[in-house]
Chain A
Amino acid sequence: MEHLQLTLSYVNQVLIFAVFALSLNLLQGYAGQVSVAPAAFGAVGGYTLGYLFLNDPSSLNTPLGALLLVIIGSVGAAIVGALVAFPALRLTTEWLILLTLAVQTIIVSLVQTVSKLGGTYGLQNISGLKIFGRELDQPADMFPFFLAMTLIVFAVCWRMGESPYGRVLRGIREDEIACRSLGKNVFLFKTIAFGMTAGMAGLAGTMQVINNTVASPPLFDFSQSSTIVSMVVVGGAGNLLGSFVGVAVLVLMQPLFEHVLNFGADAAALWRLIAFGVVLIVVLMVRPAGLLPDKVTRRLGKTLAKMKDRPAEGSDFVPHPDLQEMHAIEEHLSTEDKVRVMPRALAIKETSGNGPATSAVNIGDVVLKVVGLSKRFGGIVAAENLDMELRRGTITALVGPNGAGKTTVFNLLTGAIRPDAGEVYLGGEDIVGLTPDRIAKRGMARSFQAVRIFPRLSVLENVALGVQHQPGESFAQLFGNVPRTMKVEKEVRERSREWLTFVGMADFADQPAGGLAFGQQKLVALARVLATEAEVLLLDEPASGIDHQWVDVMLGLIEQIGQQGRTVCIVEHNLHVVERLADHTYFMELGRITAQGSFVELTTDKRLAEAYFGTA
């Protein structure tokens, strides 16, 4: 019997740390938000439970018993976590480490300082807790409760991580700016992630206090937090099952050193930590993604290994057979035929109610109107008094020398930078001051010159992130309406596959995007921006940096997009591209639009021809 209790006490330890590790893994492995404060959130939960219980033991007199206190503790931690999210939202890794370190230290110093919380000794004698009338005294009593809590946390983390919701979290981990440009409210996702994971850490804290019958600072100090971080890394960030492995490796080293190797309890505790430190560093060296890496990272590793033996793009690179075939088909198709091979969604604006100005679809209508747009960075004029119009079903090009401010215009239009003055009307409504995600949702999406693909997501997932109005991306629907989220997810994947077929990348759907050649990544990025089904598409140098065979494919695709009534604006250096695509061209110099007209009009302008285009 004693043996069983001892075994179960280790199992309980595994379960407690598993809850800590699962919650941190969701935050760090999926959402990419580093935190060194999980134990501090545990302290919020654990101390809340201990304080409420010691001050009013009658609070246990409901049938829920201590479960009520567990819930209150977890919610308290969730609130603190969501509050911490606010300053954390715009921080890069090193600042995030620093901020969470400050939070960790502040919370533990606070509980250590406040005399009502027991100071250095903490809150003692938290025993005699009951849940559903059952006392939680021995490890065997706690085990079923701990197991249930761990399973619930695992289910919640799984649902959040391995779903459209988790896809967005992983997108945020890979590239926040790209995520916002696809209409994702990064702010909300991060706040919920911080709040939920802090709440789960708070739950682990209550379990820790129940298990130890005390709530004391050493249970929740920095070394506990760093242990939890290490467990996640050893197990594999982004793989929830890996967290169990990481936790088990560390916790079960104690009985190994104490009972198997007979080191004595004190020395065994130190040896197990030393051994774990060594395991951590060896894992980082040998398996940087952890013992159980997440599946895309695993595949990416294999692809990168293969790439070492592959010839570099540009030398004797041959496009994928799909593309060659598609190219061949295209050459023999009339425009009407081409329309038929395109995804339904490309022409969707005529039937769907999404986006602005869909009621009256007339080619040539002004969809985007820019009036007096200006932006200065200190003494540098990035944009001065710009007036522009983009018309439906046409392709507009923005050309000019390096540093003219072309990409800045895209940043201003999409809300990435706020203009100092001027208005931008999308479908008649001023969108200045809206965040990039809201502008994307209103029907203007952009691509990036440096593609900004999500490398550790599959090609299909990259495109699926572009699809708008997914119930699975809403926290409430994720848990509130499971059948609908599953049904829509199936449609999202189908539609994403259609877009990939359209750009000729369907065969690569399940590959990690980071393993593709640059030209392929550009095609995936195009599919991704198309998947937003935005009315206005801003394409930043869509044909730059890619092999000439791909350029042709890319331009053919953009032409088709324009022909379908989408409004396209491209920034481009390559004059052949502009000549082939642009219906209207703006010429920018030093932040000003100095000329506009057709491509021929601009290239025949004497001043521009001499200064920029070269005399032909």
Chain B
Amino acid sequence: MSSVNFANFLQLLADGIFNGTAYALIGVGFSLILSVSGRFHIAYAMTYTLAAYVAAWMGTAYHVPFWPALLLGALAAALLGALMERLVYLPLSLRALSRGADPLLVMFVASLGLTVIVRNGIALAALQQSSVNIQGFNNQGINWGPITVTTLNLTTFFTTWGLIFALWAVLNLTNLGRMIRAVRANWEMSLCIGIDPSLIFVMVFVIGSFFSGVAGVFQATFASATPDLGLPPFFYALVVAFLAGLTSGPIRIALVAVALGVVEAMSTLLLPTQFTPLVVFAILFFYVALRPVNFKDLRRRFSPKPQVAAG
């Protein structure tokens, strides 16, 4: 538990904002995929992990500098995302539709399968190394009065918000954005105005997976790449996406992510540090548990009511 003073508070606030920013990118990417294509894409965690490994291998094996390695990692993630959609989700969803099965559940289970395949495929490829590091980023601490930040914090922050504003602009100002929003609203109707939803699905997988890839490379730069790198942050992305509302715009989702990061960081004022993940999931639990409760109805149910026989 941390002692409470103003400097400490400011440091936690800064930590919270930076942590939250890290959740923002994957929160936005995941909700874009889920809300447009309807795929409950748990394997999203794996595009995150793959990008980290590709960037790390580029650095160690070919001495590729940091930024090109990050770009290659994120592109590999985008490619993997697009392949998952094209080779697995799309054919499965068409089958599920024709057989009356619950497509959401089918996609979810398929996604579990993809997660298992990619996670263990990466582990197999990296069997001799327990973890790999990203090369070429010179991370330094900067003191801003009472608080300390790192160059990695700032790079992550500006890259993330740059990408989120870019996505906002694409969604709101371009023809592609209009098509994505149309498919999100009603993919069947979008067919009638000449949009091919399957192409849009691939597009959102490319964009969302690219985002996760960037986030994954930054995370692996901070720590290092392991086969299980992606799953914990993915769970945060899930919380962010559902708390913000799946069809919300990217900026709103990112702000919710930052708020969650701040709450998580502040919780260390009250609880031992190791309990912070619990705080996030407790928020999710209560949010989900209480969401469908109609309090007005509940009050009526417990209010006394005279039982008088008719006429």
Contacts and interface: CB of A to CB of B under 8 A. Distances in A.
Contacts of B278: 106, 109-110, 113
A87 B289 contact: yes
Contacts of B120: 270-271, 273-274, 277
Contacts of B116: 223, 226-227, 230, 273-274, 276-277, 280
Nearest to A96: B288
B242 interface: yes
Given A267-B124, A371-B310, A97 B40 contact: yes
A277 B113 contact: yes
Contact of A87 (B114, B288, B309): B288
B146 interface: no
Interface in B70-91: 88, 91
A95 B291 contact: yes
B105 interface: yes
Contact of B235 (A101, A278, A366): A101
Interface in A77-127: 86-87, 90-91, 93-95, 97-99, 101-103, 105-106, 109-110, 112-113
A288 B96 contact: yes
B285 interface: yes
Nearest to B109: A233
Given A34-B105, A99-B289, A113 B275 contact: yes
Contacts of B301: 418, 433
A176 interface: no
Contacts of A112: 274
B291 A106 contact: no
Nearest to A429: B309
A93 B105 contact: yes
A2 interface: no
B117 interface: yes
A280 B40 contact: no
Nearest to A368: B310
Interface string B84-123: 0000100110011001111011101110111111011101
Contacts of A439: none
A124 to B, nearest CB: 19
A220 B305 CA distance: 48
Contacts of A274: 116-117, 120-121, 124
A278 B112 CA distance: 11
A102 B231 contact: no
Contacts of B307: 429-430
Nearest to A87: B289
A539 interface: no
A514 B100 CA distance: 10
A193 B130 CA distance: 42
Interface string B163-195: 000000000000000000000000000000000
A69 interface: no
A103 B285 contact: yes
A288 B242 contact: no
A8 to B, nearest CB: 26
B285 to A, nearest CB: 4
B258 to A, nearest CB: 21
Nearest to B96: A288
Nearest to B38: A94
B68 interface: no
Interface string B236-253: 001000100000000000
A91 B112 contact: no
A304 B99 contact: yes
A109 B288 contact: no
Interface residues of B, number: 57
A266 interface: yes
A154 B91 CA distance: 35
Contacts of B277: 105, 109
B288 A91 contact: yes
Contact of A428 (B88, B231, B285, B310): B310
> SS class of chain B's interface: helix, strand, loop or mixed?
helix
Contacts of A255: none
Contacts of B112: 226, 229-230, 280
B235 A301 contact: no
A366 B311 CA distance: 10
- Chain A interface size, as a band, is 35 or more
Contact of B113 (A93, A270, A281, A425): A281
Interface in B268-311: 272, 274-275, 277-278, 281-282, 284-285, 288-293, 297, 300-301, 305, 307-311
A464 B242 CA distance: 39
Contacts of B274: 112-113
Contact of B124 (A90, A101, A233, A270): A270
Interface in A202-241: 222-223, 226-227, 229-230, 233
B235 to A, nearest CB: 6
A433 B242 CA distance: 32
A430 B308 contact: yes
B142 interface: no
Nearest to B288: A99
Given A94-B40, A109-B278, A277-B117, A102 B96 contact: no
B309 A428 contact: yes
B114 A106 contact: no
B7 interface: no
Contacts of A113: 272, 274-275, 278
B275 A288 contact: no
Nearest to A304: B99
A278 B117 contact: yes
Contacts of B42: 226
B127 interface: yes
Interface in A405-420: 418
Contacts of A90: 292-293
A493 interface: no
B297 A418 contact: yes
A227 B272 CA distance: 32
A230 B308 contact: no
B270 to A, nearest CB: 15
B310 A425 contact: yes
B305 A432 contact: yes
A95 B288 contact: yes
Contacts of A106: 278, 281-282, 285
B214 to A, nearest CB: 24
B94 to A, nearest CB: 10
Contacts of B275: 109, 113
Nearest to B122: A270
Interface string B17-53: 0000000000000000000000010100000000000
A324 B92 CA distance: 42
A455 B115 CA distance: 32
Contacts of A103: 285
A102 B116 CA distance: 20
Given A98-B288, A277-B114, A418-B297, A284 B106 contact: yes
A9 B274 CA distance: 36
Contacts of A281: 88, 92, 110, 113-114, 117
Nearest to A424: B310
B169 to A, nearest CB: 29
B109 A266 contact: no
Contacts of A430: 305, 307-310
A151 B25 CA distance: 48
Closest 10 CB pairs of A and B: A87-B289, A425-B310, A277-B117, A277-B116, A280-B113, A102-B285, A273-B120, A277-B113, A270-B120, A369-B310
8 contacts: A230-B112, A273-B119, A273-B120, A274-B120, A276-B113, A288-B95, A301-B99, A432-B305
Given A87-B288, A105-B277, A273-B117, 13 more contacts: A91-B288, A95-B291, A99-B285, A106-B278, A106-B281, A109-B277, A227-B116, A270-B120, A270-B124, A276-B116, A371-B310, A425-B309, A430-B308
Interface of B: 40, 42, 88, 91-92, 95-96, 99-102, 104-106, 108-110, 112-117, 119-121, 123-124, 127, 231, 235, 238, 242, 272, 274-275, 277-278, 281-282, 284-285, 288-293, 297, 300-301, 305, 307-311
